Amino acid sequence: MTFRGKLFWMFTIALVLSVVLIAAGVTVVARKAFDENNAQHTEALVAQFQREFSNRGQEVAHRVQTIANAESTVRMAIDLARPTADPSIYVDDATGVSQSSHLDILDFVSNDGTIISSAEYHARFGYKLQWIKALTAGKTVDWVAQGPFLMKIDTQAGPAVALLAVSTVRVGDRNLYIVGGERLGREFLGSLVLPQGMRALLYLNLENKFEPADLMDENGAIEQADRFASSIEKDLRQPAERKFTVNQTADAKEAEVFHETPLLGRQSELLGILMVGSSQREVVILQRRIEVLAAITVVIGIVIALLFSWWGSARVTKPIQELAEGARAVSNGNWNTRVEVRGGGDVAQLATAFNQMTQQLADQRERLLQTERVAAWREVARRLAHELKNPLFPLQTTVENLRRSKDKNPDQFEEVFRESTGILLSEIENLKTIVGRFSDFAKMPQPELGAVNVNEVVRSVVKLFEAQFGAVGRPPITPELHLDEELPTIQADQTLLHRAVENLVLNAMDAMPAGGVLMLRTSHQDGKVDLEVSDTGTGLTPEECDRLFTPYYTTKQHGTGLGLAIVQSVVSDHGGRVSVESESGVGTSVHIELPSRPPKKPQTPEAVAVKSGE
């Protein structure tokens, strides 16, 4: 992965993580805040509801007191206090008074606890209201101080729970009790003012065990009452205020948080359970909106992060990329490459250093070229001197012999002259040969590319030297061919390749004066063709290996030092590489790697200069 890519992903991951963490944090904090707010809201509403409940009790007490104060009630009390009182005439009074007073429950009860008239249980006249009889037996009860209270009562429709208040009208030593109240039920729930999103449920403990039909809202018995069973059963065992959540469906929006308040009677018996439910719909919708917003923020953040990362990494890596391109250009031989220096940071310093480096490299290369050129010329001069010195010395001695023979032995001069001219011609021929070799090296042609099978080149070279491998008078050399038959053809100059392989074979033969094995191996990998020429000769020292491809360098007594230089020249012209491995006393291997097609040669300044005629 590129540096830009790494930087891009690093930036992206860091930014995305940041955005996600922030979004998650905001969501969690918001959810917590909503929950707290919701809890406070619910508690406030529950308190409001309880106040409302309390107010209803006071209202009931007020209505009952109003009935007690009414003239008709006082007349009834006076009438009933008479010894010959006829209570039957009042049997229907409670019904009418309860309707005008908007009370569900209204009983006129005589001093001995006998029901004179009952609105909620009309047919019960003449029976005793046991609880009031028990409470008032032999004592005076301050009903105003008692205030409203809850009680389980009997009605025409069955048992019920009512919020009751009691007032008395006293005539002489006899009381007329007015028991009034509101029945707890759906009508009662419906009359309570509840904020939007809230609902009140009422469970009436009529059976002292959980009965789904006894759980109601303002519309009557509720569906799925069983969802409340566990909480109600807990209250039936131990009445206490509780909070719990009920989910009618799998959708969280339908969840409700209920605040449960046990409704206790005068003896602290559990008469009912009031459940104020607060819908979570708004909260959940708001939370979901925040979550959606957070998700959108995350997505947008990720996109922005990607864009920013792309831009940032591009901005950061651009100078480095330029440096890398510069380095590649330098590696390709463009020593004059310079990169732009931007700003004053580390990368700018690096660019400056790079420019300085390339400047120094160019200078050093120039100096090195000059040095190498001088050295090469010196080597050429040395080799020329060496090559020319050998023929020149016989030429000199021959000419001196001629001069001495003419001066001292004129009679033998003719004979000496013939021999000497023969030697002179022979040496001059040597000089011509030497000059010719130099001339050949100087005139190395540009490769003319064509489809070449390296195996065929190897075979033709081996065939050329077959006679010499087993020549009489010299130790035999055994050629071994390990040729890759799957070897692909490459674009190359067959003649030049033939010449290079020929030189390698010659060198190998020269390296094995005592005979040995000449191994030629071909193979291919990644579209490149490898050629290995190995001998089992005396081998080379590392120093010899280092200088092996230097023109005119030779380890042989009579070599020109151009063989491997030609090999290197040919391989280089084909865009390949040549290397040598050698171990003294074991042998030497020369490896040639040739591409399938030679790359186009970059135009060196020199070449450009030649082409332009400079």
- With contacts defined by CB under 8 A, name the span among 116-124, 131-139, 200-208, 463-471 that binds other proteins: 116-124
Binding-site member from 156, 397, 412, 579 for other proteins (CB under 8 A): 156
Least Cβ distance, residue 92 to other proteins (angstroms): 8
Residue 537 and residue 504: Cα distance in Å, rounded? 13
Q: How far is the CB of 91 from other proteins (least distance, A)?
A: 4
Q: Which is nearer to other proteins, 183 or 574 (CB)?
A: 183
Distance CA 495, CA 265 (A): 121
Integer Cα distance of 590 and 584 in angstroms: 14
Residue 108 interacting with other proteins (CB under 8 A): no
Q: Does 206 bind other proteins (CB under 8 A)?
A: no
Q: What is the dihedral of CA 272, 276, 279, 283, to 10 degrees?
A: -140
- Comparing CB distances to other proteins, the nearer of 123 and 193 is 123
Q: Give the closest residue to 188 by CA, choosing from 167, 149, 162, 168.
A: 162
Interface residue with other proteins among 3, 127, 311, 377 (CB under 8 A) is 127
Residue 71 in contact with other proteins, rule: CB under 8 A: no
Q: Is 318 in the site for other proteins (CB under 8 A)?
A: no
Shortest distance (Å) from residue 108 CB to other proteins: 13
Residue 250 interacts with other proteins (CB under 8 A): yes or no: no
Burial class (CB in 10 A: 0-12, 13-18, 19+), 226: exposed
Task: Give the number of other Cβ atoms within 10 Å of residue 383's Cβ.
Answer: 19
Q: Which CB atom, from 122 or from 242, has the smaller least distance to other proteins? A: 122
Subset of residues 469 to 488 that bind other proteins, contact rule: CB under 8 A: none
Distance CA 135, CA 146 (A): 12
Q: Closest separation between CB of residue 161 and other proteins, Å?
A: 19
How many whole angstroms separate alpha carbon 8 and alpha carbon 3? 8
Min. distance of Cβ 205 from other proteins in angstroms? 21
Distance from the first to the final alpha carbon of the chain: 45
- DSSP letter, residue 255: E
Give the residue with the Cβ less far from other proteins, 125 or 413.
125
Which CB atom, from 90 or from 188, has the smaller least distance to other proteins?
90
Contact flag: residue 91 with other proteins (CB under 8 A): yes
Least distance between other proteins and beta carbon 194 (Å): 35
Strand-pairing partners, residue 363, are none
DSSP 445-475: PPP--EEE-HHHHHHHHHHHTHHHHT-TTS-
Please tell me the count of residues contacting other proteins according to CB under 8 A.
12
88 interacts with other proteins by CB under 8 A: yes
* Window of 83-91, 306-314, 375-383, 497-505 that interacts with other proteins by CB under 8 A: 83-91
613 three-class SS: coil
Minimum CB distance to other proteins smaller for 176 or for 395: 176
Least separation in angstroms between residue 88's CB and other proteins is 4
Contact residue for other proteins among 4, 31, 124, 406 (CB under 8 A): 124
Q: Does 128 bind other proteins (CB under 8 A)?
A: no
Beta strands 174-183; 577-583: pairing state: unpaired
71-81 and 93-101 are packed helices; what angle lies between their axes, rounded to 10 degrees? 160
**Selected binder of other proteins within 11, 125, 143, 354 (CB under 8 A):** 125
Shortest CA distance to 114 belongs to which of 93, 132, 96, 89?
132
- Dihedral sign computed on CA atoms, order 352, 355, 359, 365: positive
Q: Is 130 in the site for other proteins (CB under 8 A)?
A: no
Greatest pairwise CA separation for the chain in angstroms: 205
Residues found near other proteins in the complex (CB under 8 A): 88-89, 91-92, 121-127, 156
